[in-house]
C-alpha cells in the first residue's frame, strides 16, 4: 500500500501536460478545488494562471522556472519508471474523487495510458474531462438520469458484458471486447440503468458531468 501524500476531504483536480483549456481547468476546480500537477502538468497549470498545490511525478518534464515557483516540500519526486506520472498521482491521493484534465488531445499513447491508470487504480474514482466528453470507469451498477437523445458510449477494457435499460440499443446478451464488439455512440431514451461485469468505460457529453457525479454518489462529496 502506497502512503498518501495528498489527503483532502474535498475532491482533487489532477492536471497533465496534454491539451487543456482555461475552461477545462475552471470547470474542474469549481468541483475539485485542490490542484495536483502530474510533473509537466505544472507548466500547463501555471500558464493558465493556476498555481499547483502539489506536483507529483519523476519530475523530468517540469520546467526549471515552474519548479522554482513551487515550494520544495510540495514537489514529490517519485523516481521509479514502472508507472506513469498520472498513476503516481492517483496512487498517492486520498480524496473523495479526482477530476483529471490535460490527459487527452495531444498524444494518443498518453491518453490510453491515462485511461488504463484510471481502471487500475480502482480505489479512487476518477473522471477525465476532455474538450467534448467525460470518461469514467463504470461501477458494477449505475443509474444515470439522462435526457432522451444523450450520447452514451461504452468501451470495454477487457471482456465485458451486462444488462441495460434506457438505451436505444440494449446491451443484453452482447459480449464486449476491445478487439471485437464495442458500444460507442449509443443513445439514451431517458434514464439509463446498467449492470456490468468486467471493466467498462462510460463516455458522456461533457455537459453531463453533474449527472455523472450524481449517478456515482459524488455530488455531495
Q: Considering the domain 9-131 in this protein, what is its CATH number?
A: 3.40.50.10240
* pLDDT confidence tier of residue 96, bands split at 50, 70 and 90: very high
Alpha helices in 48-137, H assignment, sequence order? 64-68, 85-90, 108-120
Q: In this predicted structure, what is the pLDDT of residue 125?
A: 97
* pLDDT confidence tier of residue 2, bands split at 50, 70 and 90: confident
Task: Judge whether residue 172 has pLDDT over 80.
Answer: yes
User: Beta strand pairing status for 98-101 and 12-15?
Assistant: parallel
Task: Judge whether residue 196 has pLDDT over 90.
Answer: yes
The percentage of the chain sitting over the pLDDT mark of 70, rounded to a whole number, equals 100
Looking at domain 137-215, its CATH class is mainly beta
The percentage of the chain sitting over the pLDDT mark of 90, rounded to a whole number, equals 93
217 Cβ neighbours under 8 A, 6+ residues apart: none
Round to whole Å and give the CA distance between 100 and 81: 21
Find, among 38, 138, 29, 17, the residue nearest to 88 by Cα: 38
In the chain, the N- to C-terminal Cα span, in Å, equals 24
Find, among 20, 26, 27, the residue nearest to 41 by Cα: 20
**Where in the chain is CATH 2.60.120.320?**
137-215
Round to whole Å and give the CA distance between 46 and 79: 23
**Where in the chain is CATH 3.40.50.10240?**
9-131
Find, among 12, 15, 81, the residue nearest to 46 by Cα: 15
107 Cβ neighbours under 8 A, 6+ residues apart: 18
> What is the CA angle 61-123-100, rounded to 5?
40
Round to whole Å and give the CA distance between 42 and 47: 9
Q: What are phi and psi of 181, to 5 degrees?
A: -85, 130
Q: In this predicted structure, what is the pLDDT of residue 141?
A: 98
Can you read off the three cell numbers belonging to residue 53?
A: 498545490
Please list the residues that pair with 155 across neighbouring strands.
Answer: 201
Can you read off the three cell numbers belonging to residue 68?
A: 522554482
User: Beta strand pairing status for 151-156 and 200-205?
Assistant: antiparallel
Q: In this predicted structure, what is the pLDDT of residue 144?
A: 98
Round to whole Å and give the CA distance between 188 and 164: 10
Amino acid at each position: 500500500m502506497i502512503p498518501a501524500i495528498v489527503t483532502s476531504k474535498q475532491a482533487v483536480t489532477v492536471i497533465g501536460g496534454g491539451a487543456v483549456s482555461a475552461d477545462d481547468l475552471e470547470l474542474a476546480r469549481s468541483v475539485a478545488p485542490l490542484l495536483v500537477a502530474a510533473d509537466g502538468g505544472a507548466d500547463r497549470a501555471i500558464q493558465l494562471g493556476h498555481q499547483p498545490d502539489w506536483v507529483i511525478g519523476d519530475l523530468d518534464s517540469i520546467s526549471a522556472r515552474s519548479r522554482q515557483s513551487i515550494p520544495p516540500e510540495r514537489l514529490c519526486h517519485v523516481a521509479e519508471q514502472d508507472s506513469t506520472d498520472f498513476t503516481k498521482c492517483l496512487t498517492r491521493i486520498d480524496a473523495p474523487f479526482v477530476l483529471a484534465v490535460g490527459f487527452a488531445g495531444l498524444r494518443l499513447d498518453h491518453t490510453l495510458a491515462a485511461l488504463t491508470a484510471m481502471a487500475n487504480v480502482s480505489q479512487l474514482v476518477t473522471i477525465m474531462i476532455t474538450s467534448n466528453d467525460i470518461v469514467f470507469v463504470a461501477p458494477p451498477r449505475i443509474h444515470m438520469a439522462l435526457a432522451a437523445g444523450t450520447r452514451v458510449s461504452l468501451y470495454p477494457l477487457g471482456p465485458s458484458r451486462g444488462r441495460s435499460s434506457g438505451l436505444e440499443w440494449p446491451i443484453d446478451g452482447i459480449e464486449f471486447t476491445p478487439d471485437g464488439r464495442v458500444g460507442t455512440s449509443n443513445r439514451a431514451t431517458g434514464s439509463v440503468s446498467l449492470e456490468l461485469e468486467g471493466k467498462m468505460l462510460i463516455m458522456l457529453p461533457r455537459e453531463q458531468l453533474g449527472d455523472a457525479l450524481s449517478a456515482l454518489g459524488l455530488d455531495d462529496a
